[in-house]
Chain A
């Protein structure tokens, strides 16, 4: 198996004859080149931006300075591949909305952006000179030593050669001794370079690759996107409801009016009978459509809120239902909607499965918590796992950080509670039904 990083490569025999020492050199040398360029860029932006800040032209330059971590981070992640075969995940999120503004906002809010800026400062100020130092001592010095005899022959005319510009060698044995020492140092230097490159790569990865700390951010992002999904679902229900109301429903009513007027003019006989039949059919279609629309999203919930909508749902239940819900205001739409559909599902189950003779819907809003409870005097034994539709509703409630709990011992009674933390959307005395 191929080693995946310079560390693994150093732990194996044959490191010196593999490509890894050269990779380490390549990483460090390119680090010097990129680092010095970044240093120049940062100094230029800081000087120009700071100098021009008074005439406003400088401010965008300073802003650009703050974001230099983004391109540098990208280059550094690419460069990291030289000595590290592990993938380097990009720590940045993809903006949800298009456009430069949204992109800048997302980037500014990300911790990764500021970690990268920290890396830029470290890179431009400390790391690239260190890279240079390691390359000099780990590669250039041993190479110069190795080259001593050649220097003596080529430049010194066979009489003398300067070793590292500080020490003059004047005879051949010393020169060859230097050369042998150089080869040994070169071998040692390969390990020094390997260690330096490995440490450098580790530090870089720590600062500019996505970390598990980002997991928390991703969980938050996931929770938010789940919330957005539910909102979108809710908005879509409203849109469908409105489209049906404004479209098909109005046309059907207009049709029954046309048929009604036609009946006025039709002489009694088969034609009038047919018209009456047609009108009756249109009326049935209208009634079915009305029930369908009501099931998608009841208008009374939008107009009057949870209390009235629950009273309406109670009216539609065959088993008599007492409603004792006390809500002197409106709650957030998503909360009202979730609680309403839970109550509807519970009442449907009361009608279908419970064998109850009475049911009760109670609850209210206290201490930032909406509590709604549906109880019946039926036979109990309700199992949420048996596709009663409660599972989906529990998911919907949990998106709002709420809880759905069912108590239904065999023999009854059954009680379904929903609790959702929320604040008043608005307190209103308008249109409160007296139920």
Chain B
């Protein structure tokens, strides 16, 4: 499938990008430009990221985790800080490795909407990456399949109550997919997906509330498991 449909169906986003590797930063700028988004600032460290966001008020922030000066988790700190200062600012965090601990901390910032956490490897799958970026910018939650895979391997108590199909559905929910998207992926009807989600929410004892909120809670429950 070509990516043209992505270009056409999604609004152009104003992006602030933080990535300390010049090579990769240039690559990302090129890629985002190629699919029709505008990188309003591309910076190399966390302080510059905070400054650039204040200056440009972007639609979405894309940041690396490990950046100068300490090369630890400065990017993640900055992302959490940004989300505390500006609730609702969508942030997509990219990392060389994914870790439940980081995902949990990131999702705990704000209400868990408009946030994403992906392995850098996913960037090469341009179509999926751009799709994920769009979902984050639109207020969705995107968690790397690798994190979900780590979680599902844990087979802790609440998870054991779910059927394999329900776990699959939950994994796709954690990736931020809509019911329709999940149905297409699993080659089942959308109604069947709705039934599975109902089962998941019931088994997790999630209080009846608006659907989106419960979906986020379901994902969070598993990230904290």
Q: Check if A253 sits within 8 Å of B101, measured CB to CB.
A: no
Could you tell me the distance in whole angstroms from the C-beta of A40 to the nearest C-beta in chain B?
A: 59
Residue numbers in B under 8 Å from A264 (CB-CB): 2-3, 34-35, 126
Query: How far apart are the CA atoms of A287 and B119 in the complex, in Å?
Result: 10
| CB within 8 Å for A290 and B97 given contacts A250-B24, A303-B73 | yes
Residue among A254, A258, A290, A318 facing the most chain B CB atoms (10 A cut-off): A254
How many residue pairs, one in A and one in B, have C-beta atoms under 8 Å apart?
112
One digit per residue, 1 when the CB lies within 8 angstroms of any chain A CB and 0 when it does not, for chain B 8-27 equals 00000000000001011011
One digit per residue, 1 when the CB lies within 8 angstroms of any chain B CB and 0 when it does not, for chain A 250-292 equals 1101101111110110000000000000010011001100100
Residue numbers in B under 8 Å from A320 (CB-CB): 154-155
Residue numbers in A under 8 Å from B123 (CB-CB): 253, 256-257, 260
B167 CB–A CB distance under 8 Å: no
Q: Check if B100 sits within 8 Å of A311, measured CB to CB.
A: yes
Residue numbers in B under 8 Å from A293 (CB-CB): 96-97
| CB within 8 Å for A260 and B96 given contacts A242-B71, A254-B23, A431-B105 | no
Q: Which of B2, B21, B97 contacts A254 (CB 8 A)?
A: B21
A30 CB–B CB distance under 8 Å: no
Which of A157-165, A294-302, A345-353 forms contacts with chain B?
Answer: A294-302
A395 CB–B CB distance under 8 Å: no
Query: How far apart are the CA atoms of A282 and B120 in the complex, in Å?
Result: 12
B161 CB–A CB distance under 8 Å: no
Query: How far apart are the CA atoms of A257 and B26 in the complex, in Å?
Result: 10
Query: How far apart are the CA atoms of A434 and B104 in the complex, in Å?
Result: 8
Residue numbers in A under 8 Å from B40 (CB-CB): none
B31 CB–A CB distance under 8 Å: yes
Residue numbers in B under 8 Å from A435 (CB-CB): 100-101
Residue among B34, B121, B124 facing the most chain A CB atoms (10 A cut-off): B124
Could you tell me the distance in whole angstroms from the C-beta of B162 to the nearest C-beta in chain A?
A: 15
Query: How far apart are the CA atoms of A242 and B154 in the complex, in Å?
Result: 29
Q: Check if A261 sits within 8 Å of B24, measured CB to CB.
A: no
Q: Is the interface of A mostly helix, strand, loop or mixed?
A: helix
Q: Which of B27, B99, B120, B125 contacts A258 (CB 8 A)?
A: B27
| CB within 8 Å for A300 and B23 given contacts A257-B124, A261-B34, A283-B121 | no
Q: Check if A308 sits within 8 Å of B99, measured CB to CB.
A: yes
Query: How far apart are the CA atoms of A434 and B155 in the complex, in Å?
Result: 16
Could you tell me the distance in whole angstroms from the C-beta of B123 to the nearest C-beta in chain A?
A: 5
Could you tell me the distance in whole angstroms from the C-beta of A242 to the nearest C-beta in chain B?
A: 6
Residue among B101, B105, B153, B154 facing the most chain A CB atoms (10 A cut-off): B101
Could you tell me the distance in whole angstroms from the C-beta of B40 to the nearest C-beta in chain A?
A: 20
Q: Check if B121 sits within 8 Å of A286, measured CB to CB.
A: yes
One digit per residue, 1 when the CB lies within 8 angstroms of any chain A CB and 0 when it does not, for chain B 28-62 equals 10110011000000000000000000000000000
State the interface size on chain A (CB cutoff 8 A).
Answer: 42
Nearest residue, chain B, Cβ from A287: B121
| CB within 8 Å for A300 and B99 given contacts A261-B30, A264-B2 | yes
B189 CB–A CB distance under 8 Å: no
Q: Which of A257, A260, A431 contacts B24 (CB 8 A)?
A: A257
Query: How far apart are the CA atoms of A311 and B224 in the complex, in Å?
Result: 12
Q: Check if B101 sits within 8 Å of A254, measured CB to CB.
A: no
Residue numbers in A under 8 Å from B72 (CB-CB): 299, 302-303
Query: How far apart are the CA atoms of A287 and B26 in the complex, in Å?
Result: 22
Q: Check if A249 sits within 8 Å of B100, measured CB to CB.
A: no
Nearest residue, chain B, Cβ from A253: B120
Nearest residue, chain B, Cβ from A249: B96
Q: Which of B28, B104, B105 contacts A257 (CB 8 A)?
A: B28
Query: How far apart are the CA atoms of A435 and B156 in the complex, in Å?
Result: 11
B150 CB–A CB distance under 8 Å: yes
Nearest residue, chain B, Cβ from A247: B21
Q: Which of A246, A299, A314, A433 contacts B104 (CB 8 A)?
A: A433
Could you tell me the distance in whole angstroms from the C-beta of B28 to the nearest C-beta in chain A?
A: 7
Query: How far apart are the CA atoms of A318 and B66 in the complex, in Å?
Result: 29
| CB within 8 Å for A253 and B121 given contacts A260-B31, A303-B73 | yes
Residue numbers in A under 8 Å from B121 (CB-CB): 253, 256, 283, 286-287
Could you tell me the distance in whole angstroms from the C-beta of B217 to the nearest C-beta in chain A?
A: 14
| CB within 8 Å for A312 and B21 given contacts A260-B124, A261-B126, A264-B126 | no
Nearest residue, chain B, Cβ from A322: B156
Query: How far apart are the CA atoms of A433 and B66 in the complex, in Å?
Result: 19
Nearest residue, chain B, Cβ from A280: B124
Could you tell me the distance in whole angstroms from the C-beta of A106 to the nearest C-beta in chain B?
A: 34
Q: Check if A260 sits within 8 Å of B125, measured CB to CB.
A: yes
One digit per residue, 1 when the CB lies within 8 angstroms of any chain B CB and 0 when it does not, for chain A 202-219 equals 000000000000000000
| CB within 8 Å for A308 and B101 given contacts A249-B96, A251-B23 | yes
Query: How far apart are the CA atoms of A90 and B14 in the complex, in Å?
Result: 73
| CB within 8 Å for A250 and B23 given contacts A245-B66, A290-B97, A434-B224 | yes
Sorted from nearest, which 7 A-B pairs have the closest CB atoms? A256-B124, A257-B27, A433-B101, A250-B21, A260-B126, A260-B124, A308-B101
Identify 10 new A-B residue pairs, CB closer than 8 A, beyond the known A315-B151, A315-B153, A433-B101. Answer: A251-B23, A254-B21, A256-B121, A257-B28, A282-B124, A293-B96, A293-B97, A294-B97, A300-B102, A303-B101
A-B contacts, 29 listed (Cβ < 8 Å): A246-B21, A250-B24, A253-B21, A253-B120, A253-B123, A254-B21, A254-B23, A254-B26, A256-B124, A257-B28, A257-B31, A257-B123, A259-B124, A261-B31, A264-B3, A299-B73, A299-B96, A299-B97, A303-B72, A303-B101, A312-B99, A312-B150, A315-B100, A315-B150, A315-B154, A316-B153, A318-B153, A433-B105, A435-B100
